[in-house]
Amino acid sequence: MTWGTTDLTVRYPHTLALDAVTFAAPAGQVSAVVGGDGAGKSTLLRSLVGAVRPTSGRVDAPALREIGFMPTSTGVWRELTVAENLDFVAAAYRVRDRTRRADLLDAAGLTAVTGRLAGDLSGGMRQKLAFTLAMLHAPRLLVLDEPSTGVDPVSRVELWRLIAQAAVDGAAVVLSTTYLDEAERAGTVCVLDNGRVLRSGPPEEVTASTPGTITVTDDPPDRDLAWRRGRRWHAWHPGPPVPGETPLPADMEDAVIAATLAGRTS
């Protein structure tokens, strides 16, 4: 089963947030949506869960009770304990399977803190609780809006393990992220800018289709066409390599930035 959108356009009063976006999220896979601030990531994810009404185009998603959604604001009740958060969602979705609940808590490393207020958890633990809540009713479509933002690198690894497992167990997982190294782990990547799809496909196809030439430099000729990587800069221009230039093979971060620059300069 594949969920997704076809030619989806969403217009807010002063903004065209999505412009004819076609996006596929197959079951058993993690599909990542990437792009800068305001690219339209949240609007696409919220459209999939029925929280945003399409201006035109189509959304294919399962019934609401078969969708799990983790919004950017984490989606936990801070004044409830971990156990009470789970009870609340279990009651709402009529989940009676205590084993699943215990297994998810265990996998998320939260078993020892079930009596703690969600508001007193660390940021990473809170994200894992939010993920557990979104997963509890075994949704067929799991939509996660920037699940790892603000999570430390160790917790990010653990969170990714849980996310990948949800896909292995058969869910179609859609997540947005601004961490482009993470997108490299997804089955497919959709690069958005200004509401348009710039690239989509498996990560290696997206990086292989990087336009123009990227080089490493200490002193980029045009800082609008360059980005910092560690202590050095990566610089981009739209043409093929010029004599004397050593082009750099793009990773996901380079590919997304180059595609965005190409989209804006063409």
Q: How far is the CB of 42 from ligand ATP (least distance, A)?
A: 3
Nearest one of 151, 257, 185, 135 to 32, comparing CA atoms:
185
Given a contact cutoff of 8 angstroms between Cβ atoms, the answer to whether 252 and 183 are in contact is yes
Min dist. Cβ of residue 244 to ligand ATP (A):
38
CB of residue 121 to ligand ATP, shortest distance in Å: 23
Residue 260 lies near ligand ATP (rule: CB under 6 A): no
Task: State the residue for tokens 């869910």.
Answer: 171
**Nearest distance in Å: CB 201, ligand ATP:** 19
Candidates 5, 30, 40, 180; binder of ligand ATP (CB under 6 A) is: 40
**Binder of ligand ATP out of 5, 23, 34, 35 (CB under 6 A):** 35
Q: Which one, 33 or 86, has the nearer CB to ligand ATP?
A: 33
> Alpha-carbon distance 209 to 6, whole Å?
23
**Per rule CB under 6 A, is residue 34 in the interface with ligand ATP?**
no
Using CB under 6 A, which of 8, 34, 39, 86 touches ligand ATP? 39
Q: What is the DSSP letter of 67?
A: E
Cβ atoms within 10 Å of 169's Cβ, excluding its own: 12
Shortest spacing between CB 43 and ligand ATP, in angstroms: 3
d(CA 195, CA 11): 10
Position 54 contacts ligand ATP (CB under 6 A): no
Phi, psi of 161 (to 5 degrees): -60, -45
Residue 177 interacts with ligand ATP (CB under 6 A)? no
- Residue 179 tokens read as 């961490």
In angstroms, give the least distance from the CB of 176 to ligand ATP.
Answer: 6
CA angle, residues 74, 75, 78, in degrees to nearest 5: 95
Angle at 246 between CA 241 and CA 252, to 5 degrees: 85
* Sole residue written with tokens 């993690």: 30
Alpha-helical segments (H) within 11-152: 41-48, 82-92, 98-107, 123-135
Q: Which is nearer to ligand ATP, 81 or 200 (CB)?
A: 200
Which span sits near ligand ATP by CB under 6 A: 33-41, 179-187, 217-225, 232-240? 33-41
For ligand ATP, which residue of 1, 2, 7, 12 counts as binding (CB under 6 A)? 12
| Closest distance of CB 35 from ligand ATP, Å | 5
Q: Which span (1-9, 37-45, 103-111, 135-143) binds ligand ATP, by CB under 6 A?
A: 37-45
* Positive or negative: CA dihedral 141, 142, 144, 148: negative
- DSSP 8-state symbol, 117: B
Q: Is 43 in the site for ligand ATP (CB under 6 A)?
A: yes
Q: Which is nearer to ligand ATP, 195 or 211 (CB)?
A: 195
CA distances to 13, 70, 210, 233 from 131, rounded to whole Å, are: 32, 6, 33, 36
- Smallest distance, Å, CB 102 to ligand ATP? 34
Q: Does 38 bind ligand ATP (CB under 6 A)?
A: yes
Q: Contact positions toward ligand ATP, by CB under 6 A?
A: 12, 15, 17, 35, 37-43
